[in-house]
Amino acid sequence: MPSVRLGIRRFGAINGLGLATLMKREASRGLKDYNYQLLGPAVTALLYLAVFRLALHNDATGQVLINFIAPGVIIFSACEKAYESAAGSFIFDKHEKIIADMLMAPLTPFERMVAYVGADCLGGLAVGVAVAAVSLVFAELGAAHPWAILVFGLLGMMFHSLVGLLVGIWAEKWDQFSAIHTFLLVPLSFLSGVFYPIEALPAAFQHAMQWNPLYHAIAGFRYGMSGTEAGEPMIHVLVLVGVNLVLAGWAYRWFRSGYKLKP
């Protein structure tokens, strides 16, 4: 007779093992095919910088603009990755009907959400580091306020990952996935200062930008790298934390109710 009795596996308030397993699965599927999952964003970022480098004069003013753009491109690429892995894995799993594997596991809605967001942020981080490395070809990068790089990088990726979770749960087709990306997320980041200071915008738009969470993420992240201040960093943090909490609450509700996930 085996000395161990079969029974339900027991764990404390949080199923740490389950959470780590789901996170590991999600993070590794996001980076499995590094060929285009890391190299792709890196090449695209390099292209953006190259285009600006070539369009600008090769002098000090040109370099200033490149140094301004690079942090924007880094956080933009990292955030895009977080959105893609979150939404992508849900839509894929729903189509392949393997979403049940995740729903059957003894994980609470909260644990599921944390595991997905954590894994998406890790994927985003990998892309961010890769893009930062290739950016060095054209730009001079700094770390004026390391805490801000970390905090804003994380908050920006969390925002994208949570939007990705919501889209992934809601969407039934890949069209919806790309529609949110093309018509919502990319315009929000492109128009909120990835490539230019918002002072370049007409006054009315500058004001509207304050309502765009991505403006706060990009401005804060750039403050972390180059020390250029655009607005009050603490305001940026508060806005992002607030938005992320709302989205997390929303995602939690959907995970709990099984909206579009359970029959």
Site for other proteins, rule CB under 8 A: 33, 35-36, 39-40, 43-44, 47, 50-52, 54-57, 61-62, 65, 69, 175, 178-179, 182-183, 186-187, 190-191, 194-196, 200-201
Residue 44 or 228 having the CB closest to other proteins: 44
Residue 48 or 255 having the CB closest to other proteins: 48
Spatial distance between the Cα atoms of 179 and 53, rounded to a whole number of angstroms? 30
Q: Quote the least distance from Cβ 160 to other proteins, whole Å.
A: 18
Residue 154 or 191 having the CB closest to other proteins: 191
Spatial distance between the Cα atoms of 116 and 19, rounded to a whole number of angstroms? 9
Spatial distance between the Cα atoms of 129 and 196, rounded to a whole number of angstroms? 22
Give the single-character DSSP code of 5.
Answer: P
On whether the CB atoms of residues 19 and 111 are closer than 8 A, the answer is yes
Q: Quote the least distance from Cβ 45 to other proteins, whole Å.
A: 12
Residue 22 or 134 having the CB closest to other proteins: 134
Residue 84 or 111 having the CB closest to other proteins: 84
Spatial distance between the Cα atoms of 243 and 208, rounded to a whole number of angstroms? 16
Q: Quote the least distance from Cβ 110 to other proteins, whole Å.
A: 34
Neighbouring C-beta atoms of residue 20, cutoff 10 Å: 12
Map tokens 């790298």 to a residue.
225
Q: Quote the least distance from Cβ 2 to other proteins, whole Å.
A: 46
- The helix (H) or strand (E) run that includes residue 82 is helix 60-95
CA 123, 124, 125, 130 dihedral sign is positive
Q: Quote the least distance from Cβ 48 to other proteins, whole Å.
A: 8
Residue 9 or 32 having the CB closest to other proteins: 32
Residue 87 or 194 having the CB closest to other proteins: 194
Phi, psi of 12 (to 5 degrees): -75, -145
Q: Quote the least distance from Cβ 131 to other proteins, whole Å.
A: 14
Spatial distance between the Cα atoms of 68 and 64, rounded to a whole number of angstroms? 6
Q: Quote the least distance from Cβ 71 to other proteins, whole Å.
A: 14
Neighbouring C-beta atoms of residue 57, cutoff 10 Å: 9
80 CA to centre of own chain? 6
Neighbouring C-beta atoms of residue 193, cutoff 10 Å: 25
